[in-house]
């Protein structure tokens, strides 16, 4: 369910922020073994699989060829209550925006401007995203700019340099409150042939 909300936010940010370069919804953590060294990094499913890039999974590691790399990490969803035929939920997720100051505004070095612009264009009242009803998104905090947001990933030194000037990042903790009517949840059908 959080994917529907995050994908809506992605669409809004693409339309509103001039520095959006590489953006996706919820990422997963992938690990690969390359010659005895395990590398862990964020990946997302390629939404445009028919495009020139046929890869099904895309790497969202910070990279200096981009103006920005934006992705979301899922922090879980809880059921707040069940009332009549409605289930009330709260989902938590983090928006991570890595960027190159030089490509955005030349000599800018203050991440608060980037954070402020992201917050300005985040949709607060999303409304209905079938089957979700009354979706409200809010910013609950900004994580410290100490690099910990990337600690689960095994970035090499050449990637770690991308969190210090002229590069920067913002990590915003968000939550979405919404409800779902039970009868609006579609039943799953099993494929009889390979889908």
Q: CATH code at 20?
A: 3.30.2000.10
C-alpha distances out from residue 56 to 46, 47, 79, 124, Å: 5, 8, 32, 31
| Tens digits of residue pLDDT in 49-104 | 455 555 577 778 888 889 999 999 999 999 999 999 999 999 999 999 999 888 88
| Tens digits of residue pLDDT in 105-158 | 766 778 888 999 999 999 988 888 889 989 999 999 999 988 888 888 877 665
Residue 162 in domain: yes
Cis omega (within 30 of 0) on the bond before 2?
no
Residues, the chain, total? 195
Kindly report the backbone phi and psi dihedral angles of residue 103, in degrees, each rounded to the nearest multiple of 5, phi listed first: -85, -15
Q: Which residue has the higher pLDDT, 114 or 185?
A: 114
Answer whether 137's CB lies under 8 Å from 124's CB.
yes
Residue 159 in domain: yes
**The pLDDT of residue 166 is above 90:** no
Answer whether 61's CB lies under 8 Å from 70's CB.
no
Residue 194 in domain: no
CA–CA distance, 33 with 46 (Å, rounded to integer): 22
Residue 191 in domain: no
* pLDDT the model gives residue 49: 46
* pLDDT the model gives residue 186: 83
Residue 189 in domain: no
Residue 25 in domain: yes
Residue 18 in domain: yes
- pTM, 2 dp: 0.86
C-alpha distances out from residue 124 to 14, 43, 174, 175, 183, Å: 16, 27, 10, 10, 26
* pLDDT the model gives residue 185: 82
From the number of C-beta atoms within 10 Å of its C-beta (0-12, 13-18, 19+), residue 45 rates as middle
- Work out how many domains the chain is built from and give that number: 1
* pLDDT the model gives residue 47: 59
| Tens digits of residue pLDDT in 8-65 | 999 999 999 999 999 999 998 888 787 777 777 787 876 554 555 555 777 788 888 8
Residue ranges making up the domain that contains 170: 2-184
Bridge partners for 40 per DSSP: 31
Residue 190 in domain: no
Answer whether 133's CB lies under 8 Å from 35's CB.
no
């Amino acid at each position: 369910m959080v994917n529907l909300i995050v994908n809506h936010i992605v669409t809004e940010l693409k339309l509103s922020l001039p520095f959006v370069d590489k953006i996706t919804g919820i990422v997963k953590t992938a690990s690969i073994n390359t010659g005895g060294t395990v590398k862990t990094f964020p990946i997302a499913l390629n939404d445009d699989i028919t495009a020139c890039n046929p890869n099904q999974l895309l790497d969202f590691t910070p990279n200096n060829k981009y103006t920005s790399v934006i992705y979301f990490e899922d922090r879980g969803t809880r059921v707040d209550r069940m009332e009549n035929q409605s289930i009330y939920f709260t989902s938590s997720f983090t928006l991570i925006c890595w960027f190159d100051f030089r490509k955005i505004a030349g000599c800018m070095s203050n991440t608060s401007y980037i954070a402020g612009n992201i917050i300005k264009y985040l949709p607060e009242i999303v409304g209905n995203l079938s089957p979700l009803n009354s979706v409200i998104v809010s910013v609950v905090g900004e994580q410290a700019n100490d690099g910990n947001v990337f600690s689960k990933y095994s970035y090499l030194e050449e990637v770690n340099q991308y969190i210090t000037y002229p590069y920067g990042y913002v990590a915003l903790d968000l939550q979405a409150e919404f409800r779902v009517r039970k009868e609006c949840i579609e039943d799953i059908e099993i494929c009889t042939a390979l889908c």
